[in-house]
Chain A
Amino acid sequence: MQPRKQTPRLVRARVREHKALRGDYRFLALEFQAIGSLAQPGQFVHLRAPQLAARVLRRPFSIYSAKGNRLGILYKTVGQGTRALAEVAVGERVDVMGPLGRGFPTDRTGIVPVLVAGGYGVAPLSFLAGRLRVRGVVFVGGASARDVVLCVEDFRKLGWEVRTATEDGSRGIKGLITAPLDAWARKNRSQPLEFFACGPDGLLEAVGRLAAKGRWKAWLSLDKHMGCGLGACLACVQKVRDASGKETWARVCRDGPVFEAAEIVW
């Protein structure tokens, strides 16, 4: 194993913008030298909020936007770390390491891209939507309207068709996003579809199954609890099949977080 060519950085980044969005979601913008040319959609940063002194681990967040020297993160407050992060004020500094991991392929052509997002999975997919060479359809699912409206306008502005579903029926179709997705894929069976998904394991597994049925490719971004974020501690492992068909562990933080569905052993 050799060090990577494009190395991540560890910096104390100044907070440029920090605001509440709908529901429990927040947007954080950090000053990060040249992030626009460094970051690939699907990569993440490993972040430490200064207020979190009694905790030893950083927190991983997908890169939501990267332009010039501006790094954007879209996050949901769910526990101690994200609640501490919510207290960080504009002008303060946050300890951030990245960009990390292997993201989505962005150079695909001759395909109809289908983006599938669950919850905060919209964050990396919104970044991807602006970087892919072709446009297609986005399926966004969540518990309620508050979870799915986040990036809908972003996607539309970038020229994507958006379809939504909520479990409580407060927006779009009622139920899981996989139902309208399956129906749509059946109708477009003869198209050269390619899936890009980020969300809970159940959603990713379903997208993988759907892709396998149509012999399409599906790029799935996995979510695992992390230690180092660098590939050293082996906390974040996922069972995968290697090129020779043998089952091994892959490190989501370094070999992923994006994997082609056929590699993954659920």
Chain B
Amino acid sequence: MAGATPRMAVEIAGIRMRNPVMVASGTFGYGVEFADVLDLGRLGAIVVKGIRIEPWAGNRAPRMVETPCGLVNAIGLQNPGAEGFIRDYLPFLRTQGVPVIVNVWGRTIEEYKRVATRFDGVEGVSGLELNISCPNIKEGGIAFGTDPKMAGRVIAAARKVTKLPLIPKLSPNAPDIARMARAAEDSGADAISLINTIPAMVINVETRRPELANVVGGLSGPAIHPVAVRLVWEAARAVKIPVIGMGGIAEARDAIELMIAGASAVAVGTANFTNPHTAPRVIDGIKDYLLRHRMRGVKQLVGSLGR
């Protein structure tokens, strides 16, 4: 079919991306690990594994168990801390020609403030994704993600200390995702991302013991995709800021579905494990789709749900 090449580039929260397909935090390390088998320059953006101001050891092993159409993980946010990341990983990422979004977290509002302060003005960092929704740490993380007031306080605190685009990452556990999304917008968020993993648990029936050392973890992968579609749709209707959609993207159609529901960009997570080439395939598939549907660009797709 003849037609102009559809426009793939997007701008989210002031971050220019060559296409709307990013890779999700915690499923792509710090980029360098995947550079072996993938040209990072093809990606829309890289969201790195969650960083705290100080290093964090994470949970005991086993940390991951496969389930039908997904997996449950309880890595526990192991990371080298802000200084370790800036020293050991950022120099390589700066050379890749792809926007880097740093996923950050803390156990207290004070820790969120410190880590956001540290990254303000750091060369090679395009934005901060505020993880207020990880189910794997016990010290209050989840409370930030389920209570709009608490979430608002975390976001407002980070807003005060950094000029970087702020992208709070919402929990699928929030009782009312629209309210949560509005709280984020009102507190100074430039975009929101969702969904994080869904709290889950797997028992080995032979031993009658939990499969994960942490007992509970977070479910991800195709199993959660329809949940993500519903939450992205509800959140996108509630706010004006862009929504980054994720949850169970395994192929282009899943990404397209999230965009129709209202996501301006998407992120591939668990599918990076299944096949490290998933993200470029999704990019190609979106382009094919736009051509096939005679659309000028991804913008036309976003929020195009019919009735």
Contacts and interface: CB of A to CB of B under 8 A. Distances in A.
Interface string B227-269: 0000000000000000000000010000000000000000000
A1 B37 CA distance: 16
B33 A230 contact: yes
Interface stretch (A4-12, A113-121, A147-155): A4-12
Contact of B34 (A1, A57, A230): A230
Main secondary structure, interface of B, reads: loop
Contacts of B65: 225
A7 B35 CA distance: 9
Contacts of A112: none
A68 B258 CA distance: 45
A233 B27 contact: yes
Contacts of A97: 37, 276
B161 interface: no
Main secondary structure, interface of A, reads: loop
A225 B211 CA distance: 11
A2 B88 CA distance: 9
Contact of B274 (A56, A249, A254): A56
Given A3-B36, A7-B37, A97-B37, A235 B75 contact: yes
B117 interface: no
B61 interface: yes
Contact of A228 (B33, B88, B221): B33
Given A1-B92, A57-B66, A234 B33 contact: no
B37 A232 contact: no
B26 interface: yes
A196 B57 CA distance: 30
Nearest to A55: B66
A225 B27 CA distance: 16
Interface in B288-303: none
B275 A48 contact: yes
Top 4 A-B pairs, shortest CB-CB distance: A232-B29, A235-B64, A232-B33, A231-B33
